[in-house]
Chains A and B, each alone.
Chain A
Amino acid sequence: MNLDVVHDIQTVYRKLVTATSRPGNSVVLEREAKTLDIQMECLSSTILLARTVLDPEVTFKVISKAEEAVSRMINQLTYSKPVDLAEADFIFILQDASDEQMKEALNMAKVGNLLNPHESAMIILEVPDVTKGVSMILSGPGIQEESFISLPNVSAWLGARNEKNKEFPLGIDMYFVDQQDRLIALPRTTQIKGNGGEIIWDMLQ
């Protein structure tokens, strides 16, 4: 079965909308992922997201050992141009990226300016499993009081994310995809606390 660029991309988009408007809730892209016939060094969900949001009007950057091949493939699929980190509208951090690369990517990502906070980067981060890892409490718009999630490799990205998002409305919006084609969003408005009540960010400093 082939990806239907109209209807399958529409359902991916609606799930993206659900994920963004309800941070911490995971949505499943499994059905759409199965329609992809290309096998690459990145997850199927990453390709689905790239095809949903990218076109020649926007730019992207891939952080991976296979950066060149994946960039070329995304470029061929979407005609979007790969650019430097600081300019990229969308940053794809693949599973094989090191913690240092991840931190650097988040540090360099653009956050917009106060006049145009929407001119900021969307980060798509590949993880092994969006349900296993450090337990955290989320609050903010889209969340009724509090919600609980566990995400892996928190030490590599949480400090950088909080640093980037400290001056709302400036900031970066993060999307986590995993090998089971699940997607979780943490837009810039989401506040993250450790499950013991302490602020994880402080804990990591």
Chain B
Amino acid sequence: MNKTYNFAFFDEGSKREIRRATLKAIAIPGYQVPFASREMPIGRGWGTGGLQLTLSLIGKDDVLKVIDQGSDESVNAVNIKKLVSDTTGVRTTDSTKGASLIQSRHRVPEVPLQRDQILILQVPLPEPLRNFEPSEHETKKLHAEREYSGAWLMLFEQIMKYGIMATDADHPVMVHDRYVMAPSPIPRFDNSKLDNNEALILLGAGREKKVYAIPPYTNISSLAFDDYGFEIESFANHACILCGSNDVFLDELVDEESGETYFQCNDTSNCLEMVNQKQSLGVK
């Protein structure tokens, strides 16, 4: 642990400011609470929102897991983990079950979250209405008036153009029947995991200076029409090449030598656990 820095990098005043915003965010599910967003030693847009939430929450007894697009070992995840553990001395882990704080970029882990865990999602664009309304003042007004026809129209236009809702990731959700919220660019596959989750989910956007939250057991529904329902990515007839799972989110990869496509788990720590489980069964 590097003792030339404050515990958890921030001074106490900065933590307090983020903490106050977070408490309000939990009390008003889905509402984007503005916060000061301090300068961080990583660039804005690289996970500073999530990182600030993590630093404001973390204590000596926490165990931290950081994932980037499902991977525990990508550059972004490793650097964030290093910064937090250097300035706090907390243990880090790859295991979803073993972590008390999970900071994630663009995935909700495959392993169901538990009651005593907090999931922190990094958010690049927190405003679900930004696509059609560039003014922050206007989008705030639209949220205030619960005027979401623009969000519906955006989906309608996609259906007119492509025959389906082509949101890919970041498909907007309705929180507690009040606020339309950007769930951060998680795949549609993960949207259902937000609904009535056991754990508290916090979302932080550092560049856009917003914090918002989904308390446990909160109703979350993905925006959809009666005749064009919400559909998740389909991996029918595909399984992970390493562990054989077919009920998880898979990445489609290309074998550069043979040119064939194959599928692999996106959540690497879950994949590794599945592989290890199989091997230990084999030994018995």
Contacts and interface: CB of A to CB of B under 8 A. Distances in A.
Contact of B218 (A54, A116, A142): A142
B200 interface: yes
B29 A141 contact: yes
Interface residues of A, number: 37
A17 B23 contact: yes
Chain B contact residues: helix, strand, loop or mixed? mixed
Select the residue from B6, B24, B58 with max chain A CB neighbours within 10 A: B24
Interface in A65-114: 113-114
Interface stretch (B121-129, B139-147, B148-156, B163-171): B139-147
Interface string A158-191: 0000000000110001000000000000011100
Contacts of A17: 22-23, 26, 57, 118, 200
B26 A20 contact: yes
B284 to A, nearest CB: 37
B23 A169 contact: no
**Interface size range on B against A:** 35 or more
Contacts of B229: none
Interface stretch (B11-19, B241-249, B255-263): B11-19
A58 B23 CA distance: 14
B271 to A, nearest CB: 30
B178 interface: yes
Given A7-B59, A53-B16, A142 B23 contact: no
B283 to A, nearest CB: 40
Interface string A34-69: 000000000000000000111101100000000000
B49 to A, nearest CB: 16
A122 B23 contact: yes
Contacts of A131: none
Q: Which 5 A-B pairs have the closest CB atoms?
A: A114-B144, A187-B27, A141-B218, A142-B215, A118-B24
17 contacts: A6-B12, A10-B15, A10-B58, A13-B56, A52-B16, A52-B19, A55-B16, A57-B17, A114-B145, A118-B28, A141-B217, A142-B215, A143-B217, A169-B179, A188-B28, A189-B28, A189-B215
Given A13-B57, A143-B217, 7 more contacts: A6-B7, A13-B19, A20-B23, A21-B216, A141-B216, A169-B28, A173-B23
